Amino acid sequence: MNKELEKAIDLRKRGDHKESNELLMRLVEEFYDDALINYQCAWSFDILGEEAKAVPFYENAIKFGLSPTDLEGALLGLGSTYRTLGEYEKSKSTFLKGIELFPDNRAMQTFYSMTLYNLNEHSKAMELLLKCLIATSKDPEVSSYKKAIEFYSDKLDVIWK
């Protein structure tokens, strides 16, 4: 199994997405309850633009138990996939679980802000994005305004007179 899984991942890395997906589908049939194979299979459907097909594999991967690193990626992938399918509440709860488990993952927070936007929680989305920006930017001009950006991040609707 390990050699076949490595082959599928290598195929994906080389851009052979369809062949990788086909191999992963065969592996899932043989090793249905293997969390890592389910995760890789979900990922392969996402790359193919077949997000709806990815969902059950992400859900199974998470249910069957992944290493922390793979769980982090699976929660981000599932949350993002739910969002692209218009399942905004599922996306939100998935991202909240991910952020609780991996509070320093700025990519997860950024994708979560997109879900907040879709839920018309624009102020919260902007606040989160601004905080991610100041936490990750190496741009000297952004950095020079870090305190101001952080201060205003949750006060975007306040009018100062």
Contact at 8 Å (CB) between 49 and 36?
no
DSSP at 31:
S
Identify which of 10, 46, 2 has the alpha carbon closest to the alpha carbon of residue 27: 2
Q: Give the tens place of pLDDT for each residue, 2-58.
A: 898 899 999 999 999 999 999 999 999 999 999 999 999 999 999 999 999 999 999
| Residues 6 or more apart in contact with residue 64 via CB below 8 angstroms | 33, 34, 35, 38
The 10s digit of each residue's pLDDT in 98-128 is 999 999 999 999 999 999 999 999 999 999 9
DSSP 6: H
d(CA 15, CA 134): 34
What's the rounded Cα separation, in Å, for the pair 34 and 84? Answer: 26
pLDDT tens-digit profile of 67-107? 999 999 999 999 999 999 999 999 999 999 999 999 999 99
